[in-house]
Structure 1
């Protein structure tokens, strides 16, 4: 704020708004907006909100218009001696300079406070950055170790995959051998079953073979020149009879068993 500024700021600590229209001026050189002035100075006794001074005089608190009309300007100091006019003007300028000085001090205080907070925040941020750097370095180390572990797992996984593929190939080969052996055993088993003797049919064939075989083979004779030679000679009567006569196995099986004893 400078002397060329045409507005003042409310001295209420939580307000700090630009003044316009009407303002409340105190004998302790403080000025307040119309809202806070009417609220604070309506109580008795009145106390300045800025410096806590007691304002008990009749003219210690004045509500003034900040933008007076031309008629007011022409008549407010009319008829006063020049020394009175200069005294009033000097006091008004002193009030203005005090407000400017207070505003400058307030701004300097706010600036120093902001700088202190900034330094404190900078210190805190620096400490946090250092701690973050330490954490990041630790995390980078963990990431590097985890990468090594991951590479080791990848290598083991590739080895296990190769072993599994080899085992699968061996399994497929053994499965093929097993299937071929099973088929061959099935074929051999079927042939063996065909070659095994059947209970009814084999007994019949064995009986026929036993009964149909002659006890003595006939003797072949050479043909005489005259052509009246015999093919068989020296056949016994019983042998020839047994050779051409045999009993049926079916008839023998159907014949009841007679116990002679």
Structure 2
């Protein structure tokens, strides 16, 4: 089965084009082929120069625009009448053109491969350097993490010690608070017990036999309660100085009266 035009290996030799040749192509005497677009643009100037090898193309047949897929009639007549050696010579030159194109393409592919290999080596070298740098950074980070872990463990230990101290202080505080509360309650009980002795109610508000007001006893030494008066009757206030009524209401502080014996009611 015949190959189609677009399945061949001929490529445009114009730099940075490398399009597959199909339809019409420009072929030069220096064995280069160009697509119709670049060939028409480059070879329209005079003198024409090959864009691939910079050769001057001044001959009449140095540049030929050829149809890559000729008709059957053209194939039947183009070499008709030529001697076999001419036909073989033309075929040999045509095959040499294809061989040169294939060789050129192989060289280009080898050059591209070598450049790609160089780039790959450079990238691998750069990648190795970056990996080494990352490994160094990673090792430094691991060391920093290890040191931070040690610092964190130290802080945890200190925190545990402080927490234990705080708990001990709280226990001591609770104990002291309990002691303080018990002592305060005991002091309040003692004060409540001592308060009536310090401020006796029968000194401040004594009451008589009938529930009336009874004046407090004089701090002076009192005579016997039951003494005979001039009429011979027992009088409770006999011997008191009636001329000084303020003596009945003269009060003393509890501290002053603490050592004095109070008279007992009979």
2:55 & 2:205 partners in 1: Cα distance?
A: 148
Which of 154, 157, 174 is the equivalent residue of 2:156?
A: 154
**How far does the alpha carbon of each residue in 1:44-85 deviate from its partner, in whole angstroms, 9 at most, with x for none?**
433221111222333322222212221221122223232322
User: What does residue 137 of structure 1 align with?
Assistant: 139
Unmatched 5+ stretches in structure 1:
219-233, 246-251, 254-261
User: What does residue 56 of structure 1 align with?
Assistant: 58
TM-score by length of 2: 0.70
Q: Tell me which protein shows more helix as a share of its residues.
A: 1
* C-alpha deviation, 1:111, in angstroms: 1.8
Q: Following superposition of structure 1 onto structure 2, how do residues 45-194 of structure 1 map, counting pairs within 5 Å? A: 45-189=47-191
C-alpha change, 1:179 and 1:87, in structure 2 (3 Å) is same
Q: Following superposition of structure 1 onto structure 2, how do residues 182-221 of structure 1 map, counting pairs within 5 Å? A: 182-189=184-191, 196-197=198-199, 202=203, 205=206, 207-210=215-218, 215-218=223-226
- Using CA pairs below 8 Å that are at least 6 residues apart, which structure has the higher relative contact order? 1
CA RMSD of aligned residues (A): 3.5
* C-alpha deviation, 1:101, in angstroms: 1.0
User: What does residue 258 of structure 2 align with?
Assistant: none
Unmatched 5+ stretches in structure 2:
1-6, 207-213, 239-244, 247-266
1:73 & 1:239 partners in 2: Cα distance?
A: 188
* C-alpha deviation, 1:187, in angstroms: 4.6
TM-score by length of 1: 0.71
* C-alpha deviation, 1:109, in angstroms: 1.6
2:189 & 2:160 partners in 1: Cα distance?
A: 43
Which of 7, 11, 14 is the equivalent residue of 1:12?
A: 14
Number of residue-to-residue matches in the alignment = 229
Which of 226, 230, 241 is the equivalent residue of 1:237?
A: 230
